[in-house]
Amino acid sequence: MDVQLLESTADPERLICQAARNDYMEEYVADTPFEEAMASMGGDSLEDKQETLIHHLLDHGHFGPFEHPHATFAVKGISRSCMAQLTRHRHVSFDVQSMRYVSFDDVDPDDVHDGEMVVVPPSATDPDWVGRNQQSGQVDEETAAEREELYRETIANSFDAYQELLEKGMPPEDARYVLPIGTKVNLVMSMNARMLMHVADMRAAADAQWEIRDMTERVLDLAAQWCPITFEYYDEEMHNRKNRLAP
Ligand SMILES: Cc1cc2nc3c(=O)[nH]c(=O)nc-3n(C[C@H](O)[C@H](O)[C@H](O)COP(=O)(O)OP(=O)(O)OC[C@H]3O[C@@H](n4cnc5c(N)ncnc54)[C@H](O)[C@@H]3O)c2cc1C
């Protein structure tokens, strides 16, 4: 999996502060120099004042100003299963790589066996992995090895069948039905900073599945570089508290 920040609002925390100060100022925010709009906030430097205001907003659940800055992420190589979880979030905009127009006709099933086109979950390879909904607990090494081979063989076979169906004239949009739900996909997604925190509340939580959790942690790392005061505070004070931003 790979996650990168493609585009984002240039100075997100200035925008958050401008929007928030708008609510409590008599003057028109667009005509007020930023330093003047922030003058009544505690702190020596402008950055300190931004920190004071942003912490105050997050602490008091005033999340509206965080809806103004937007970020767009590119995500590579998550499973279609993970994508189905992610795309349930209705305030995130998506573009998803098509399996109608992109056909995987030149993929070598041996490479699929090695994990190229389909995500191989840690539970398929790690004998000690204990999944959240696991019924049987840990298994011995022999069973773990059989499990891994069964998984790898099955995904390779499904790509084999897919390619044979294409060769027999089936269109990619229909032949794809035989591919596993673990098949990798690339997508682009955009959301505002408030939604990013909501997605993180739900998907970086302990009860989320490992894959979407991993993806969300990567998004949070990028968010901390993009919008540092907000997401450092989120990490320290809000991370792992479920559904904090749901009304
Ligand atoms: C651990 C886990 C297990 C899950 N298991 C299942 C499952 O078994 N089956 C399943 O179907 N889903 C499952 N989900 C998905 C979950 O039910 C939500 O659909 C998904 O997480 C989207 O989040 P959200 O409801 O906060 O909505 P979002 O689309 O992220 O919207 C954000 C917020 O906006 C508000 N909102 C958005 N749209 C509406 C609306 N139409 N009406 C009122 N308020 C709205 C809500 O306050 C919502 O919290 C699971 C999620 C998690 C994290």
Return the residue whose CA atom lies nearest to atom 49 of ligand 1. 246
**Tokens (6 digits) for 152:** 């790898």
**Tokens (6 digits) for 53:** 């205001």
198, 199, 202: residue to mutate for ligand 1 pocket, most atoms within 8 A of CB? 202
82, 89, 190, 196: residue to mutate for ligand 1 pocket, most atoms within 8 A of CB? 89
Report yes or no on whether pTM surpasses 0.85.
Answer: yes
What is the pLDDT at residue 144? 86
Per-residue pLDDT of the chain (247 residues; tens, 9 = 90+): 999 999 999 999 999 999 999 999 999 999 999 999 999 999 999 999 999 999 999 999 999 999 999 999 999 999 999 999 999 999 999 999 987 777 777 788 888 898 889 999 998 888 777 766 655 567 788 888 999 999 999 999 999 999 999 999 999 999 999 999 999 999 999 999 999 999 999 999 888 999 999 999 999 999 999 999 999 999 998 887 655 555 4
Q: Which residues does residue 3 pair with via DSSP β-bridges, in sequence order?
A: 75
Distance 214 CA to ligand 1 centre (A): 19
Is there a contact between 7 and 188 (Cβ–Cβ < 8 Å)? Answer: no
Distance 207 CA to ligand 1 centre (A): 14
Set 203, 218, 241, 244: catalytic member: 203
Pocket of ligand 1 (CB under 6 A): 88-91, 198, 202, 207-208, 246-247
Atom of ligand 1 nearest to the CA of 209: 1
What is the pLDDT at residue 109? 82
Query: Is 147 annotated as catalytic?
Result: no
CA–CA distance, 155 with 143 (Å, rounded to integer) = 18
Return the residue whose CA atom lies nearest to atom 33 of ligand 1. 246
Return the residue whose CA atom lies nearest to atom 20 of ligand 1. 88
Distance 67 CA to ligand 1 centre (A): 18
CA–CA distance, 53 with 22 (Å, rounded to integer) = 13
CA–CA distance, 79 with 62 (Å, rounded to integer) = 35
Q: Per-residue pLDDT tens for 182-204? A: 999 999 999 999 999 999 999 99
Q: What domains are defined for the chain? A: 2-72+188-238 (3.30.1360.170), 100-182 (no CATH)
Distance 66 CA to ligand 1 centre (A): 20
Return the residue whose CA atom lies nearest to atom 23 of ligand 1. 89
The 3-class secondary structure across the chain, one letter per residue, is CEEEEEEECCCHHHHHHHHHHHHHCCCCHHHCCHHHHCCCCCCCCHHHHHHHHHHHHHHCCCCHHHHCCEEEEEEEEEEHHHHHHHCCCCCCEEEECCCCCCCCCCCCHHHHHCCCCECCCHHHHCCCCCCCCCCCCCCCHHHHHHHHHHHHHHHHHHHHHHHHHHHCCCCHHHHHHHCCCCEEEEEEEEEEHHHHHHHHHHHCCCCCCHHHHHHHHHHHHHHHHHCHHHHHHHHHHHCCCCCCCCC
| C-alpha dihedral (203, 179, 127, 123), degrees to nearest 10 | 10
Return the residue whose CA atom lies nearest to atom 25 of ligand 1. 89
